[in-house]
Structure formats: structure tokens, C-alpha cells
């Protein structure tokens, strides 16, 4: 991306974001890449970087492990590996093994499922492969502690066997001498030591000529002499020679191993880059977690649509102090390319401007940004800013001269892929003349189809933005009652500077404020008051809208609770109905099973008996069962018919009353009573029935639908 001026990175504080990213890096490769972070202008570069960071962020948030916790900085070792004749020591070779093992774990981590779930993380190793021979070659020579194995070569095994034998013999001989000299009182408190790699006995200086051996040194006080006993000189020489032979053989083995690994030098450099690349991706993901950053929709065109965007550095700072950060929501598109933000000082105009600029830089450098996931961000080729006092003593430029020089550059170089930010356009000169120039500058930038944000206090720019296609007003909200900024951006209307309100807040003399008001042109003052009143009206409407939305949400919640309760009750009734139906079915099945069992028993007894009397009895039993069942069905049918027309009221049985006969559920009218019996008229037939078998009933009242 082309930046203007060169200090744009520092002015938008992108250098601080890079420093935070570098702090999360652990390898030299990743730190170098973070320090030299590039801002790309091609979607093909930006999109994979964002996806990789987002996939790793999902891993961190889900608590899944990714095997890149091995921290290796092996640039020196890999450089040596590519030089013919170079020899890596044991520690360097173990680091090479760790590198190969790290790649082994990474390749094994990407199973079939993870390859589908994390495709862009997989791309990092797409052009490489795992070579198991590297670890096998090192394991053949070095043990788990990084020491050359005894069996690394036949010569080394023989040398170490002889060395162990000679050291054992030397130790026994030396111990004999120490015991002997100690008994004679020659040995000092130290007894024994090593000097120049040889084993010596510490002897009192006055006895040094009374013992046989070679004097190899004395203590600083000259009270102790270090003597190699005569009995161990030859053994010491043999051990020294064997140790030298061991060192030469180990060096030869390491040189041979280094030559064998040199074949894989290019592959190991690739491994080193892969480990560093994953470390860099992890750093981006951790930074995103710190900033609560996400992955917006990225489009390959000039476009800005931010939803609930935060300034990342301000968010981190306020998080430490427990302060809230007000989000920004704005859109720059083909219809509204330039946003003119007005409002009081310290109201958040410059912060809003810097937020958009910094987030655009972060996105195009492959970093996730703290915005709502539904936000849409485009790609710009140029980013130009003019923030703060740019007075130049070196070139004898005043603030306004420098301001115009920067505006000249913007007008000459801006195009449809330019994103610009101008803080306090037209400031530094006469308000009327500077305001006129500011209008001209905005018109030219609009003609160039450039996208940008301008902050201002000039009323003429607010009026111009309201009537010029492609330019739209915005204001920073202000609480006039408490005289405090709200740091909230309101799109579509200009804002008042609240000049006199702020003067009142800081306690300026009311007479001075009144005199100042008289000096302001009536039209100008009226317009500012109108903007002031309109802004407060909008704030009140917003508060009412919030309250209404709250009530609507509460209403929706209650409605859902009611629907849930009704569904629950309906479900309960259905369950109860099914239980009753199942109970009836279970009774019916039990009855049928009992009938089946009895019928089988009758058939069985029929086949076994030979007497006619017994068969007759079985026939009667069968007839009784079937007739009883049929009678029961008739009674149930009659009972059902009765229940549909009558209800039992009970009471005294007397002439004229309707009664039900318990035995057959038939209904008739009582004609007369005779002792404990009653004559009941059933149709045209009178029947005598005992009173205890009669129940007084009443005919149900039928609705219109039933009568029809």
C-alpha cells in the first residue's frame, strides 16, 4: 500500500500494533516477520492470512492443542549445515532433531477431519513433506541426552572400553597411593584434585620431596603442593591418550553425521520456516483474542462498512482501567464516499477517524480486526492522512502552508482506490477564507471518487455536505444537560460545536459569554442553535426508541413464554389421553388373553373327555362365556347411548320421573309405585321393577348444533 506521508504508520499508531504482535512471537523468524509486517493490496495475499489467523483463533478459543510449542531459532545451525566440511556439535544436532520431531507432530496432527476443518493452516505445509530418515540418522549416533552413543562406531566402542578399564585401574592405584601417603601424614585436607586434566594428590609443601612423583603445581599460599604419584604416571598417560582418541573419533562421527544431514539442508530450512510461520500465525491469533478481533467480510473493491468497530489500542487501554469503549458504525460506499464529522472538541472525532484508518491497515496486513463479523471491508491502494500540526521549521512552512501542501498532494494523487483522512480541514487560516478553500478541496476529492473522512467545525462544510452528492454529514453526540461528550457517532446530520455550552461548563464569566454571542452573526448563531436543538431532539428520540424496543422485547418474551406454556399444557393433555387409551387397550388385551386361555382349556378338555355329560357341560360353559361377552358388549353400548342423552341426578323415585334400569341401562317413565316396586313405562310396554334397581335421571339440554 502507498502511504502518505511517511509518518502515516506512526500517526495511526500501526507501529504500536506491530509491537504488540511482536511481543506474542517466540521465534526469531516470527519476530522478524512481525517487525517487517507489510500492508498488501491484493485479495489473494490478504484473504489466506486472515483465514489462517481466524482458524488458529478458533483453536485457541476451543482449547484444542496445536503442536507448535517447540521454540527453535536454528538459523546458524542450518547455515552451517549448508557449508561443506562444517561440523555440528551434539547440542546443535539435538536441535535439528527437535525441529524434525516438531514437523512430525504437525504432519500427524492434520488427520482427515482436521484437513477439512482447517484448510488454510494446512496450506503452510502443503509444499513440504515429513522425512523420517533425519531422526533415524541422529538417533543412530546420539542418545536421548545428546551424547554420542558407544556403539556409534566400532572404534569408539573399543576406545571407551579401554578407557573404562584404564580409569578403573588408575582409580585403584591412586587410592592405594593416597592411603599410603595419608598414613605417613603427607596428605593435606584436600587429599586429591585434578590439575591440567591429570589426577594429583594434595601434599603438604614440606613433604613434597619425600614422595615420588611429578610436581604439577602449588596452591596460592604455597602451603600445598599437587603431585602426580609415580605409580599413576603411566596410567594417566594411557587415559590421556585414550581420551584424545575418543575426542577425535567423536569428531569424526559428528562430521560424518553432519555430511549425511547436509543432504536434507534445504528441507530442514523449509521445516524451520514452517515452525516460524505457525508461530507468527499463533501470534496473530493471540493478538486477535486480546483485542476481541474477528474476521469481517472482505471485498475486492473500495468499500467500508463497519459495524460496532473499536479502536484496538484504546480498547486494550480502557480494559485495564475498566472503562467502556463506544463502538463506531459507519459506511463509505459509492453513494456516500466522504464523511464529514462535526461536533465539540474532545468528542471523539479524531478517534473515529484514526479507528477507521488503523483497522484498514490491520486488515490489509492480514490481522483480524475488532469489528462485528457482518462488517464489510474493501481493499485500498493508497492511504493518505493529514492529522495534527504539520508545521515545518526546516522548510520554513507555517501550519497552514504545510496543510495546503498536503492537500495539494492529496488532490493530485487521489483516485477511486484512495482512502484519506483529514483532521480539521481548513484550519490554520481565516475561517471564511479557509472554509472556502476547504469546500474546493472537498469538491475535488469527491470528483476523484476518493473515499475518506473529514473532521471540521466549519458551518459552510456542514452545509455543503448536506447538498453535495457523495458527501454525507455525521456528528459526535453531546449531552447538553450534563455538558459531557458521549463519544457516539450519528450519521446523517451535522453537529454543533457547543462553543458557548462548553464555555459555561468550565465556568467562564456569563457576561463574557453574552458579549461573545452578540458578536456572532445572527444567521450563524441561529444555525448553530438549530443544530444544537436538532441533536438533542434526536437523542431524545433515540432514548424513546430504546425504551420502545425494550418493551417490544419484553412483550416478545412474554408471548414466547405463553406459547410455551400452552404447548406444554396441550402436550400434557395429549399424554393423559394416550395414557387412558393405553389403559383401555391394556385391559382389553388382558381380557382377550384370558378368553384365549379359557377357550384353549375348554378345547383341551373337550378332546380328552369321552362322556357326553362332560361335553354338554363344556358346551354350556362355552355358551356362558360367549353370551356373557355379548351381553357385556350390549350393556356397554346401551350405557354409551345413555350417557350421550341423560345424566344421573339421583333422588326419590316417584310417578312421572324418568329412571334408568341398572341391569340394562334402559330409560323409562315411572307410572305408579307398589310397595318396593315400580311400574315403568318402556315405550308401549309397562314393566315392574324393584326400586333398588332404578336411578332417577334427567335428559341433557341439547345445543343448536346437536338439535339439528
pLDDT in tens, 62-90: 988 999 888 888 888 899 988 888 899 99
Averaged over 638-666, what is the pLDDT? 79
Q: Is the pLDDT of residue 390 over 60?
A: no
Which domain CATH number covers 48? 1.10.1420.10
Are residue 53 and residue 111 in the same domain, yes or no?
Answer: yes
Unique residue bearing C-alpha cell 406454556: 565
Specify the pLDDT at position 663. Answer: 75
> Cα separations (Å) of 65 from 56, 179, 226, 357, 367?
10, 61, 59, 35, 22
For 76-85, 115-124, 387-396, 423-432, which range has the lowest pLDDT when averaged over its residues? Answer: 387-396
Strand partners for 227: 201, 215
- pLDDT value for 622: 67
The more confident residue out of 507 and 295 is 295
Question: What is the pLDDT at residue 633?
Answer: 60
Measured between alpha carbons, how far is 12 from 625 in angstroms, rounded to an integer? 100
Could you give the CA distance from residue 347 to residue 552 in angstroms, rounded to a whole number?
Answer: 32
Say if residue 524's pLDDT is above 60. no
Write down which residue in 498, 517, 541 finishes a domain: 498
| Least confident residue range of 26-30, 135-139, 418-422, 565-569 | 565-569
Shared domain check, 172 and 69: no
Q: Cell 549416533 identifies what position?
A: 141
- The whole-number pLDDT of residue 392 equals 39
Give yes or no for a contact between 275 and 294, defined as CB atoms under 8 angstroms apart. Answer: no
**Could you tell me if 483 and 501 are in contact, meaning their C-beta atoms sit under 8 angstroms apart?**
yes
Distance CA 364, CA 39 (A): 5
Together in a domain, 43 and 170: no
CB–CB of 434/460 below 8 Å?
no
Whether residue 461 is found in the same domain as residue 377: yes
d(CA 687, CA 679): 5
Q: Are 116 and 180 in the same domain?
A: no
Residues 273 and 205 in one domain: no
How do residues 205-228 score in pLDDT, each as one tens digit? 888 888 888 888 888 788 888 888
Determine the Cα–Cα distance for residues 706 and 701; give it in Å rounded to an integer: 9
> Mean pLDDT for the chain?
83
Mean pLDDT along residues 535-561:
77
* pLDDT band (50, 70, 90) for residue 626: low
Q: How confident is the model at residue 286 (pLDDT cuts 50, 70, 90)?
A: very high
The per-residue pLDDT for 32 is 94
Q: How far is CA 522 from CA 499, 514, 525, 531, in A?
A: 15, 13, 5, 14
Residue 234 lies in a domain: yes
C-alpha cell at 314: 484504546
Q: Does 79 reside within a domain?
A: yes
Q: Kindly tell me if the per-residue pLDDT of 708 is higher than 50.
A: no
pLDDT attached to residue 584: 63
Tell me the CATH number at 692.
2.30.30
CATH code of the domain in which 200 resides: 1.10.1420
Residue 540: cis peptide before it, omega within 30 degrees of 0: no
Is the predicted pLDDT of residue 642 greater than 50, yes or no?
yes
In 170-300, DSSP assigns E strands to 187-195, 198-204, 213-218, 224-229, 297-298
Residue 703 has pLDDT above 70, yes or no: no
User: DSSP letters of 39-101?
Assistant: ----HHHHHHHHHHHHHHHHHHHHT---S-------HHHHHHHTSTT----HHHHHHHHHHHH
Helices 233-262 & 265-291, crossing angle to 10 degrees?
A: 80
β-strand pairing of 470-479 with 484-491:
antiparallel
pLDDT for 366 equals 96
- Asked if pLDDT for residue 430 goes beyond 60, the answer is no
Q: What is the pLDDT of residues 549-575, one digit of tens each?
A: 888 888 888 888 888 888 888 877 777
Q: Tens digit of pLDDT for each residue in 100-132?
A: 999 999 999 999 999 999 999 999 999 899 999
Is the pTM higher than 0.85? Answer: no
Q: Tell me the residue range of the domain where 200 lies.
A: 159-244
pLDDT, residue 677, reads: 87
User: Is there a domain that residue 604 lies in?
Assistant: no
Q: Is the pLDDT of residue 516 over 80?
A: no
Element (H, E) at 703: none
C-alpha cell at 593: 388373553
In a domain, 34, yes or no: yes
Burial-class residue 534 by CB neighbours within 10 Å (0-12, 13-18, 19+). middle
Quick one: 181 and 268 in the same domain?
no
Specify if 97 maps to a domain: yes
In this structure, the answer to whether residues 393 and 442 fall within a common structural domain is yes
pLDDT tens digits, 440-458 = 888 999 999 999 999 888 8
- Asked whether the predicted pLDDT for residue 634 surpasses 70, the reply is no
The residue among 498, 521, 545 that closes a domain is 498
Do 474 and 342 fall into the same domain?
yes
- Grid cell, residue 589, equals 388385551
The domain total for the chain is 4
Same domain, 99 and 212: no
Query: Which region among 107-121, 253-267, 339-353, 517-531 has the lowest average model confidence (pLDDT)?
Result: 517-531
What's the pLDDT score for residue 536?
58
- Same-domain pairing of 310 and 366: yes
| C-alpha pair distances (Å), 455 with each of 115, 440, 479 | 48, 15, 20
Type and span of the H or E element at 444: helix 431-447
With respect to residue 395, please indicate whether it lies within any of the assigned structural domains.
Answer: yes
CATH code for position 347: 3.40.50.300
pLDDT computed for residue 515 by the predictor? 66
Q: How confident is the model at residue 683 (pLDDT cuts 50, 70, 90)?
A: confident
Burial class (CB in 10 A: 0-12, 13-18, 19+), 45: middle
Distances (CA, A) of 513 to 306, 458, 520: 40, 20, 11
Residue 394 confidence (pLDDT): 39
pLDDT at 704 > cutoff 50:
no
Q: Which ranges constitute the DSSP H helices of 520-608?
A: 522-608
Report whether pLDDT(498) > 60. no
Examine the pLDDT at 527 and tell me if it is beyond 70: no
286 and 310 both lie in a single domain: no
Quick one: DSSP state of residue 368?
-
Q: Which residues pair with 4 in a beta bridge?
A: 384
Q: Does position 294 have pLDDT exceeding 60, yes or no? A: yes
Between CA 518 and CA 186 the distance in angstroms is 112
Does 615 map to a domain? Answer: no
Question: Of the candidates 328, 389, 407, which has an alpha carbon nearest to the alpha carbon of residue 360?
Answer: 328
Cβ atoms of 375 and 328 within 8 Å: the answer is no
The cell for 629 is 361377552
11: CB partners within 8 A, 6+ apart = 385, 387, 388
In a domain, 490, yes or no: yes
What does the pLDDT read at residue 530? Answer: 52
Amino acid at each position: 500500500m502507498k502511504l502518505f506521508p511517511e509518518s502515516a504508520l506512526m500517526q495511526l499508531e500501526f507501529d504500536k500494533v506491530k509491537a504488540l504482535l511482536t511481543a506474542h512471537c517466540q521465534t526469531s523468524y516470527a519476530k522478524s516477520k512481525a517487525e517487517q509486517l507489510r500492508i498488501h493490496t491484493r485479495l489473494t495475499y490478504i484473504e489466506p492470512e486472515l483465514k489462517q489467523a481466524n482458524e488458529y483463533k478458533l483453536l485457541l478459543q476451543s482449547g484444542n492443542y496445536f503442536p507448535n510449542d517447540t521454540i527453535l531459532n536454528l538459523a546458524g545451525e542450518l547455515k552451517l549445515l549448508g557449508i561443506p566440511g562444517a561440523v555440528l556439535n551434539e547440542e546443535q544436532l539435538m536441535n535439528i532433531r527437535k525441529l524434525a520431531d516438531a514437523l512430525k507432530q504437525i504432519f500427524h496432527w492434520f488427520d482427515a477431519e482436521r484437513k477439512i476443518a482447517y484448510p488454510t493452516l494446512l496450506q503452510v505445509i502443503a509444499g513440504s513433506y515429513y522425512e523420517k530418515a533425519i531422526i533415524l540418522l541422529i538417533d543412530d549416533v546420539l542418545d536421548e541426552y545428546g551424547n554420542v552413543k558407544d556403539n556409534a562406531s566400532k572404534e569408539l566402542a573399543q576406545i571407551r572400553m579401554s578407557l573404562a578399564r584404564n580409569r578403573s585401574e588408575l582409580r585403584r592405584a591412586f587410592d592405594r597411593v593416597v592411603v599410603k601417603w595419608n598414613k605417613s601424614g603427607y596428605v593435606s585436607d584436600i587429599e586429591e584434585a585434578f590439575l591440567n586434566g591429570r589426577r594429583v594428590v594434595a601434599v603438604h609443601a614440606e613433604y613434597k620431596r619425600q614422595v615420588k612423583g611429578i610436581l604439577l603445581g602449588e596452591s596460592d599460599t604455597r602451603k600445598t603442593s599437587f603431585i602426580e604419584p609415580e605409580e599413576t604416571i603411566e596410567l594417566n598417560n594411557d587415559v590421556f591418550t585414550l581420551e584424545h582418541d575418543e575426542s577425535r573419533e567423536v569428531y569424526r562421527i559428528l562430521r560424518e553425521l553432519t555430511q549425511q544431514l547436509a543432504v536434507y539442508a534445504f528441507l530442514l530450512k523449509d521445516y524451520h520456516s514452517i515452525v516460524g510461520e505457525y508461530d507468527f500465525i499463533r501470534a496473530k491469533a493471540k493478538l486477535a483474542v486480546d483485542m476481541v478481533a474477528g474476521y469481517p467480510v472482505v471485498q475486492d473493491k473500495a468499500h467500508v462498512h463497519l459495524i460496532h468497530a473499536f479502536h484496538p489500542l484504546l480498547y486494550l487501554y480502557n480494559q485495564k482501567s475498566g472503562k467502556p469503549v463506544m463502538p463506531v458504525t459507519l459506511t463509505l460506499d459509492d453513494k456516500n464516499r466522504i464523511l464529514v464529522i462535526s461536533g465539540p472538541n474532545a468528542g471523539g472525532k479524531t478517534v473515529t477517524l484514526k479507528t477507521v484508518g488503523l483497522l484498514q491497515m490491520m486488515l490489509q496486513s492480514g490481522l483480524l480486526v475488532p469489528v462485528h463479523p457482518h462488517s464489510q471491508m474493501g481493499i485500498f491502494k493508497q492511504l493518505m492522512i493529514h492529522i495534527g500540526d504539520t508545521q515545518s521549521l526546516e522548510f520554513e512552512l507555517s501550519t497552514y502552508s504545510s496543510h495546503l501542501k498536503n492537500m495539494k498532494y492529496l488532490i493530485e494523487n487521489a483516485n477511486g482506490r484512495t482512502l484519506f483522512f483529514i483532521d480539521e480541514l481548513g484550519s490554520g487560516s481565516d475561517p471564511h477564507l479557509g472554509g472556502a478553500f476547504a469546500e474546493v478541496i472537498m469538491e475535488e476529492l469527491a470528483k476523484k471518487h476518493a473515499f475518506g473522512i473529514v473532521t471540521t467545525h466549519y458551518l459552510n462544510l456542514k452545509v455543503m455536505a448536506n447538498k453535495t452528492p457523495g458527501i454525507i454529514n455525521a456528528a459526535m453526540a453531546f449531552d447538553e444537560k450534563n455538558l459531557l461528550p458521549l463519544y457516539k457517532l450519528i450519521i446523517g446530520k451535522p453537529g454543533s460545536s457547543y462553543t458557548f455550552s462548553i464555555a459555561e461548563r468550565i465556568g467562564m464569566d456569563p457576561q463574557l459569554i453574552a458579549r461573545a454571542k452578540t458578536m456572532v452573526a445572527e444567521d450563524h448563531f441561529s444555525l448553530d442553535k438549530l443544530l444544537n436543538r436538532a441533536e438533542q431532539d434526536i437523542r431524545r428520540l433515540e432514548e424513546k426508541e430504546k425504551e420502545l424496543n425494550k418493551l417490544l422485547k419484553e412483550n416478545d418474551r412474554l408471548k414466547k413464554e405463553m406459547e410455551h406454556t400452552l404447548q406444554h399444557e396441550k402436550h400434557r393433555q395429549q399424554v393423559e389421553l394416550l395414557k387412558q387409551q393405553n389403559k383401555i387397550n391394556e385391559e382389553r388385551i388382558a381380557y382377550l388373553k384370558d378368553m384365549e386361555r379359557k377357550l384353549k382349556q375348554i378345547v383341551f378338555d373337550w378332546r380328552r373327555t369321552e362322556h357326553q355329560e362332560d361335553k354338554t357341560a363344556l358346551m354350556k360353559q362355552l355358551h356362558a362365556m360367549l353370551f356373557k361377552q355379548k351381553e357385556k358388549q350390549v350393556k356397554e353400548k346401551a350405557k354409551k347411548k345413555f350417557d350421550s342423552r341423560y345424566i344421573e341426578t339421583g333422588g326419590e323415585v316417584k310417578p312421572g320421573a324418568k329412571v334408568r334400569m341398572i341391569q340394562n341401562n334402559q330409560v323409562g317413565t315411572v307410572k305408579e309405585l307398589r310397595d318396593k316396586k315400580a311400574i315403568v313405562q318402556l315405550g308401549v310396554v309397562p314393566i315392574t321393577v324393584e326400586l333398588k334397581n332404578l336411578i332417577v335421571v334427567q335428559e341433557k339440554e341439547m345445543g343448536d348444533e346437536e338439535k339439528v
